[in-house]
Amino acid sequence: MNDLSKLSTLTRSLLRGVGQVMFQDSAWTGLLILAGIFWGSFAGGTPQVAWGALVGLIASTLSGMLMGIDSEDGQNGLWGFNGILVGCAFPTFFDDTWLMWVALIICAMTTTWVRKGFNNVMAPWKVNSLTFPFVFMTWLFLLCAKTLHGLPEYGLSVPTLESSFSDAVATPDFQDIIEYWLKGVSQVFLVNSWVTGLLFLIGLALCSRWAALWAGIGSAIALALAFLFGADSTSISAGLYGFSPVLTGIALGMTFYKPNWKSALWALAGIIVTFFIQAGMNSLMEPFGIPTLTGPFCITTWLFLLPLYKMDVEEKPDHSSWSKK
C-alpha cells in the first residue's frame, strides 16, 4: 500500500472505532458521532472532552498496531471504541493538567490488550467484553483522583453515604422530555447535549434503522421508568438514566439477535432490567464518588446473553465483527 491508501485505511479504522461504541461497523456513522461529540463539548464549554476523545481513540488504536494483535479487529474499529470512551471520560472527570493527558494515554492504550484478555476469558460462553475494558480501567483511574494530588478531580461527585434524596421529582413539559430523551442518547459518550443526541441517532440511522430505533426506544423506556419510579430529577434531566438502556437496546434488539418479535420482547425486558441496575449501581458507587459509566449496560447484556436463549428463531448469522472472538 502506498502512504495515501495507508492513511485512508487508518482513518476508516479510527472512524469505525467511533461507530463500534454503538455496535456500528461504519465510518460514516463514526463521523457523525464524532461531529456530535465536537458539537456537544464545544457548546458545553469543555472542548478538552472532544480532543480527549480523539487522543484516546488514536492511542488505543496505536496500541493495537504496536502489539500487532488481531489486525482484523483493528480494521473493524474494535481497537478504538474503548479508547475513545476513556478519552471522553478523563477530561470530563479530571482537571485539565498535563499529567491527566499522560494518564489518559496510558489508560486508553491499556484497554486494547485488556479487551483481548477479557474476550479470551469470555469466549467459552460466546459473549464478549463489550465496553467493560473502558469501564473497568476508567473506574480504577478515576478512583486515583482521591489519592493522587497530580490527578485532581473536576466533575466527580463527593463520596457520600446514600441515605436521603437530594432533590424533588421534576414536572417537565413536553419539550423538556424530548430534550432529556435525546440527552439519554448523547450520554453514551458522556456528552450532555440534545443536539449531539440527534446527531447520534442520525448517524445510527445511516448504518441501520434498527439501531436508531432501538436506541430511541431504550432512552424512551428508561425515561418513562425514571419518572414512574421517582428517580432524582438532576440525573433524569442530564440523560443519565438513558445511556445504558440505549446500548442494551441496540445490543439485544439488533446486534446479537436478529430483529423479530421475540428478540424485541427480549430487548424490552433487557431495557427494563438495565434501568433498575442503573439505579442500583448509582447507589453502589456513592461511597466511592465515581460514576457507573456503561457498567449497567455491560452487566445487563451479559445477563441476557449468557442463558444462550435460542428463541426458536435461528440466531443472526456470524458476519458481524462483534461475533468474532
Closer of 7 and 67 to a copy of itself (Cβ)? 67
Q: Is 303 among the residues that bind a copy of itself (CB under 8 A)?
A: yes
Query: By the 8 A CB rule, do 107 and 116 touch?
Result: no
Q: Which of 141, 214, 256, 297 binds a copy of itself (CB under 8 A)?
A: 141
Residue environment code for 45-62, b if the CB has 16+ CB neighbours within 10 A, otherwise e: ebebbbbbbbbbbbbbbb
> Could you tell me the smallest distance in angstroms from the CB atom of residue 185 to a copy of itself?
22
Q: Which of 7, 9, 229, 325 binds a copy of itself (CB under 8 A)?
A: 229
**Across-strand partners of 94?**
153
- What DSSP state is assigned to residue 239? T
Q: Is 289 among the residues that bind a copy of itself (CB under 8 A)?
A: yes
Q: For residues 12 and 158, what is the distance between their CA atoms, to the nearest angstrom? A: 40
Q: What are phi and psi of 94, to 5 degrees?
A: -110, 155
Q: Is 98 among the residues that bind a copy of itself (CB under 8 A)?
A: no
Closer of 7 and 284 to a copy of itself (Cβ)? 284
Q: For residues 6 and 169, what is the distance between their CA atoms, to the nearest angstrom? A: 53
> Could you tell me the smallest distance in angstroms from the CB atom of residue 46 to a copy of itself?
23
Q: Is 42 among the residues that bind a copy of itself (CB under 8 A)?
A: no
Q: Is 273 helix (H, G, I), strand (E, B) or coil?
A: helix
Q: Which of 28, 51, 139, 154 binds a copy of itself (CB under 8 A)?
A: 139
Q: For residues 82 and 114, what is the distance between their CA atoms, to the nearest angstrom? A: 10
Q: Which of 6, 9, 71, 150 binds a copy of itself (CB under 8 A)?
A: 150
Q: Which of 6, 9, 121, 234 binds a copy of itself (CB under 8 A)?
A: 121
125 grid coordinates: 460462553
Q: Which of 42, 176, 209, 280 binds a copy of itself (CB under 8 A)?
A: 280
Q: Is 308 among the residues that bind a copy of itself (CB under 8 A)?
A: yes
Q: Residue 43, Cα to own-chain centre: how many angstroms?
A: 21
The letter for the amino acid at 322 is: W
Q: Which of 272, 315, 316, 321 binds a copy of itself (CB under 8 A)?
A: 272
Q: For residues 306 and 203, what is the distance between their CA atoms, to the nearest angstrom? A: 30
Chain positions contacting a copy of itself, by CB under 8 A: 67, 69, 99, 103, 106-107, 110, 113-114, 116-118, 120-121, 124-125, 139-151, 158-163, 165, 169, 228-232, 269, 272-273, 276-277, 279-284, 286-289, 302-309
